[in-house]
Amino acid sequence: GQAWTKQVSTVIIVRNLDPAILDLLAARLDPTKTLLYLVDWRSSPFDINYPDYTPSSQAQLFIDAAHQLGFRIMLHVSLLGVSNTNPDYQTVSQYQMRDPETGDLLSWPFGVWPGGTPPPGYLQTFAFISPAAHAYRNLFLNRITPAIQTLHPDALHLDAGGAIVNDGNGLIEGMNSIQGIIELHKDLHA
């Protein structure tokens, strides 16, 4: 692991990328012991249009200023999410995870809506795609890598990265979903 992670004593969830908050935080906290968890850093709003990881216009300025003060940065990403409205969905839809009991397609949110369907026009929903599929792992890496290379975050929060254990599709390319998650972690680390 990274040595700096052992020094972190505070995690702050940041939704507004106004650099003015950095001086306020630095006056109250030791930036070298503080991890700023950026939830809404992409050009698309939170939980909409995955796997588009294009940074917002404010992200680079905010992260650069935070790093200059000594803060560490963690970006929110969806490890398994692909929005049904994103063009990438069609290329990986055959790998959408399924409930092992019912065979129903898995997505977020989980059947919160009557009949399991969100209201028309609700965009904060996305399919869970199995990382056992090489096509999905490549897609995820191709979409997140430019943001990592541009923004230089210290960490990624891989949302839903361990929540799905048993994919009703069975093995994909000889792997289950957890083995696919492990492969994706290895790919990210490399």
**pLDDT tens figures, 140-178:** 999 999 999 999 999 999 998 776 668 999 999 999 999
Amino acid identity for residue 75 in this structure:
L
The Cα–Cα gap between 39 and 41 comes to 6
Rounded to two decimals, what is the model's pTM? 0.91
Total residue count of the chain as it appears in this document: 190
Q: Please give the pLDDT value at position 117.
A: 62
Q: Identify residue 178 by its one-letter amino acid code.
A: I
d(CA 137, CA 184): 6
Could you tell me which residues are beta bridge partners of residue 36?
12, 73
**Over the stretch 108-132, which tens digit does the pLDDT of each residue have?**
876 555 555 666 667 678 899 999 9
Residue 77 C-alpha from the chain's centroid: 1
Is the pLDDT at 104 greater than 90, yes or no? no
pLDDT at 165: 66
Our measurement of the distance from residue 32's CA atom to the centroid of its chain's CA atoms, rounded to an integer in Å, reads 24
pLDDT of residue 64: 98
**Torsion, Cα of 4, 151, 31, 58 (10° steps):** -160
Percent of the chain residues past pLDDT 90, beyond the cut: 76
Structure confidence by residue, pLDDT tens digits, 43-73 = 999 999 999 999 999 999 999 999 999 999 9
